[in-house]
A and B are shown apart, each in its own frame.
Chain A
Amino acid sequence: MGKFFAVTIVVIAIASAIPILRHTWWMAPDISTHGAPIDEQMSETMAEAGISFLASQIILALFIWKFSSSRPSDPIKSFPGGAKAMVWAAFLLVGTEVLALGVFGVKAWANVYFAPPAANAMPVQVQAGQFAFYFRYPGPDGTFGPLHPDLISESNANFYGIDVDHDQDSKDDIVTAEMAIPVNREIHLLMHAKDVGHSFFVPELRVQQDFVPGLDLSMHFTATKIGRYEIVCTQLCGLGHYNMKAYLSVMSQEDFDNWLKKQAAMQ
């Protein structure tokens, strides 16, 4: 039975690796300017983890195959090099792996989180609430009006709590249920949570960031490919969590200008 077990382990290990090697189920193609190092990091980690996985499982299987059929008269042998070899191997192999992944990983992470947005990045505000995203564009004045949580009213379609009667900056703000952005233009996304925790995940854009109630966060990205993508919530926010999504349309600058005009007219 030991030999059968060994074969089973090898078959499972190889079968598990095939969909990964064939990319049967894989990340959606990257449409961001910052995504390449993330994808590279993913591939390197996959290669290193994959080799560790296959090597360990095959060695396990090999030893089970070989030593489950020992005869009672066989002497017990000790692994050449003993425990010291194992400790050195772990420190050298994994240590190097850790350093390599750690150092490159810092670069990929820093690209996303440590570089400030460009001065001419286009600001868009996103508000997450149970169970919808709403987006706000500052209008021609380039300034967002202040928020008044007490004025928020779904029934009056005042999703943000904007006071257009009293706040000058709010008069030209444009609130939409769909997010549109121009292609190849950096976006500075200002994130606000209305009620509980939510998250903003667009796999193609290589961004995922939680909304934190009480803490307004921001991030920035540039989309490089025109198309329509889904923004989904990844932070459990209540019964409608599975259905909390919005569309992100990446458009040419011209299409975007027209879209924004149309949205402004509908306010």
Chain B
Amino acid sequence: MHDMSHTVHHHAPPTSFIRKHIFSLDHKVIGKQYYGLALVAVLVGMVLSWIMRIHLGWTNYAIPGLHLLSSNGAPGNVMTPEYYLQLMTMHATIMVFFVLTTAPFAAFGNYFLPIQVGAEDMPFPHFNMMSFWVTFVAFLVLVASFFVGDGPTLGGWTQYAPLSAVGAVGGPGEGMGVVLWAASIAIFCVGQLLGSLNFITTTLDMRTRGMSLWRLPLSAWAWFITSCMGLTAFAVLMPACILLILDHVAGTSFFVPSNLVINDQLQPHSGGSTLLWQHLFWFFGHPEVYIAIVPGMGIVSHVLITNMRKPMLSHRVMVYSMGALAVLSYMVYGHHMFVSGMNPVSSLAFSFPTLIITIPSTIIVLIWLGSLYGAKLRINTASLFALGFVSMFISGGVSGFFLAQPSIDIMLHATYFVVGHFHMVMGVAAMFGIFAGTYFWFPKIFGRMMNETLGKVHFWLSFVGTYCIFMPFHYLGMAGNVRRYQAFVIEYMQPLIPVHRFITVAALVTGAAQFIFLYNLIHSRFWGKPATDNPWQATSLEWSTPTTPPPHNNFGDKLPVVYHDPYQYGVESSTGDYLMQASPEQVKTAYDEA
């Protein structure tokens, strides 16, 4: 920990429009830019899911205007089988990388991590700026594949080889589409590596006086743990994508074995391994699940504590549990490969840590539940979404019990059960974390309150709607409904079509409800009720800034000094039932752990 209480200026406030709003070095602007990118990405991803859902419910239904997106992909506004797969791949890639990774981690983390540790910025502002713009370029490269050659790749976000590596002969989008996909993801990795580096150094080196590691709020801990995962996971995915590109453009065969025959043509490849791709991909892929959800856990804990008016049962147990998730996330990745042809002994070796990872997850849930006991719970949109997150995380978590076991996985692998599981636990739960964070921190970011009534309508439609969409996915999976099918022509799947139609209607309604959020966001940004510096009576440093929104260097001329643990609620202080971290006032507290 450094003595940072003296005034330090890494960079003066910018004056030009470009430096202020576009190529900004300010972590707060970069955080907002990440949020904006995630917002655009989530809208694209959601519209894609609507188109897919309509197609799955009513396969021959002509969706007005769809041919404008691709005249080949949707002649007469009806999707071709391959175009369904192409849109599915783009939906997943956009959501996983550009929404679930960028919003809870890069957006909120960028804005609030430096403020929560009491710093005026991150240590490498230029790297920080680069990380956003590199991510932006990655998004453009991905979206470009809609308009190049025969469209985006159809291989799914997992891009299993050799389909992804044999080139155009594999099907539409498997040539240039895959190259653009892999290039986009490799570029994305660069952005996340730069970001992770900044997050780690910010947490370790930029803490203000008095801010010991144990005094960091849970949100800051979550971003720190996530950045440690990011640094190792993206460092594996990036070379994997580069090797995949080389298989396309340089005549290598990293992922393609010999003697493959496609369209009666013997392929000019030899010596590669198809399972190598799966190992590299999932070594990244499983930590990625936690990269998406751990920031949500931190944000939700932070929001819940403020609205419960009491700290978690144990700050340290929460931190250790999130840390355990991060460490274990690297040892469980093989559970994606139980039926992949991997050695069956390895399947068992991956099964045990997968079952064991349930223990830290359960501890986290029990701490949330136990902390609710005896709380003075405030119900507002932020806390509703935070509690919704807990409910959704439980629902998505218990289905993990099934998928952790190879013998049951025989029945559920590649079915809608898996789709239901991951949408609930890392999709919807993470989205609820983003919403909780948005409603909670919006007043600090923009100096205005969001509309609570609209917020609650948004919450109710989203909460009930997402259960209506994703719970039936589990039933479909139990009945053997295979995922990644554009139509259900298999006889035993045809009786399941009414369930798909129900899901489609629920998805359209729930999706439409998100426009209430969008309206609320935009309207409140300009016309919302002005916010005070600390509207929720919260304790952490982001609520101690001299102005709202915070000034360019966050804390004005003098960095704050921290005197307390992050969550001094339920105390009797001069301010009420809480004591801010930066307040020198001393009160008796039952919760001093550090």
Contact = CB atoms under 8 A, between A and B. Distances in A.
B486 interface: yes
Interface string A57-86: 101100110011010101011110011011
A33 interface: no
A243 interface: yes
B42 interface: no
A201 B339 CA distance: 10
A5 B372 CA distance: 15
A221 to B, nearest CB: 11
B156 A63 contact: no
Interface stretch (A162-170, A171-179, A207-215, A250-258): A207-215
A224 interface: no
A45 B492 CA distance: 25
Contacts of B355: 98, 101-102
A52 interface: yes
A267 interface: no
B258 A214 contact: yes
B171 A239 contact: yes
A16 B399 CA distance: 13
Interface in B231-270: 256-262, 264, 266-267
B391 A38 contact: no
Given A106-B348, A196-B170, A235-B414, A82 B314 contact: yes
A86 B367 contact: yes
B341 A217 contact: yes
A239 B351 contact: no
Contacts of B344: 109, 113-114
A119 interface: no
Interface in A28-59: 28, 37-38, 41-42, 45-46, 48-50, 52-53, 56-57, 59
Interface in A124-160: 129-130, 149-150, 152-155
Nearest to A239: B82
A64 B487 contact: no
A237 interface: yes
Contact of B366 (A9, A12, A86, A129): A86
B411 A42 contact: yes
Given A37-B407, A60-B394, A86-B370, A26 B163 contact: no
Contacts of B570: 76
Given A86-B317, A150-B266, A79 B370 contact: yes
Nearest to A6: B387
A196 B257 CA distance: 10
Contact of B476 (A25, A60, A197): A25
Given A60-B387, A196-B260, 6 more contacts: A16-B395, A53-B394, A63-B369, A76-B569, A194-B261, A199-B414
Interface of A: 1-2, 5, 8-9, 12, 16, 19-20, 24-28, 37-38, 41-42, 45-46, 48-50, 52-53, 56-57, 59-60, 63-64, 67-68, 70, 72, 74, 76-79, 82-83, 85-87, 89-91, 93-95, 97-98, 101-102, 105-106, 108-109, 112-114, 129-130, 149-150, 152-155, 161, 193-197, 199, 201, 203, 206-215, 217, 230, 232-243, 245
Interface of B: 80-82, 85, 154-156, 160-163, 166, 170-172, 174, 256-262, 264, 266-267, 272-275, 308-310, 312-314, 317, 339-341, 344, 347-348, 351-352, 355-356, 358-360, 362-363, 365-367, 369-379, 384, 387, 390-391, 394-395, 398-399, 401-402, 404-408, 410-411, 413-415, 456, 463-464, 467, 471, 475-476, 478-480, 482, 484-492, 496, 499, 569-570, 590
29 contacts: A5-B384, A16-B395, A25-B478, A26-B479, A27-B411, A63-B375, A72-B376, A76-B375, A79-B313, A83-B370, A98-B355, A102-B405, A108-B408, A109-B344, A152-B266, A197-B161, A197-B162, A203-B480, A208-B414, A233-B482, A234-B413, A236-B154, A236-B156, A239-B85, A241-B484, A241-B485, A242-B484, A242-B488, A243-B81
